[in-house]
Amino acid sequence: MVLTGEHFACVKVTGRATFTLAIDFKALLTRLEARGYPYLVIELADCSLMDSTFLGVLAASAARLNPVNAECETRAIELRNANTRLLDLLESLGVLHLFKLGHEPVPDQGYQKAVPMDACQQSRENLIQASLEAHETLMQINPDNVERFKEVTRFLKEDLKKSKNSRNRGEA
């Protein structure tokens, strides 16, 4: 669900924010940025879980949108009402500094029924690629994540290569 104002957009994330939603979430953030919204609020009061792929997509957007060496007050993405589990995850992965944190309630009224979203191609290959990019982003942002995700990224690279080779053999 998305609430848009004159100078901001608010995306309400409900339930489990996992790799299966990461491609569509990335497309939505890109579309909102292209429409000129300089400030994004991500409402997380109803988000029970966020996996590393979804978090990597979110962190990549924050890293791209934030001015270098900016103070927290000028962050382009605000995370609202994140539970302790999500905050601990953001802290442990070393990306919490990319976001402004807020705890004010976001009004329920005014959300569009759904921003028209063309469903992205959710092929296995696209999911692998998105997951690989997200984990590489987390490793670039925080060098401590290299050890944490090096095996994951190695596996994803191998899986992506196999998937592409399989697809290429099928086209021949």
Residues 6+ apart with CB under 8 A from 81: 43, 44, 45, 102, 103, 105, 106
Smallest CA-to-CA distance from 9 within 42, 34, 56 is with: 42
Q: How far apart are the C-alpha atoms of 132 and 135, rounded to whole Å? A: 5
pLDDT > 80? residue 141: yes
Q: What mean pLDDT do residues 123-145 have?
A: 94
Q: What mean pLDDT do residues 127-142 have?
A: 95
Q: How far apart are the C-alpha atoms of 84 and 82, rounded to whole Å? A: 7
* CA Rg value for the chain: 17
Question: What pLDDT does residue 86 have?
Answer: 95
63: left (phi over 0), alpha (psi -120 to 50) or beta: alpha
Q: pLDDT above 90 covers what percent of the chain?
A: 56
pLDDT > 50? residue 117: no
- Cα angle 21-26-31, degrees, rounded to a multiple of 5: 125
**Residue-wise pLDDT tens digits, 11-52:** 999 999 999 899 999 999 988 888 888 889 999 999 999 999
Provide the whole-model pTM.
0.84
**Residue-wise pLDDT tens digits, 66-89:** 765 555 556 789 999 999 999 999
Query: Span 2-102: which CATH code?
Result: 3.30.750.24
Chain center to CA of 48: 15
Instruction: Give CATH 3.30.750.24 domain extents, the chain.
Output: 2-102
Smallest CA-to-CA distance from 30 within 153, 129, 115 is with: 115
Predicted confidence band at 169 (pLDDT cuts at 50, 70, 90)? confident
Predicted confidence band at 151 (pLDDT cuts at 50, 70, 90)? very high
Q: pLDDT above 70 covers what percent of the chain?
A: 84
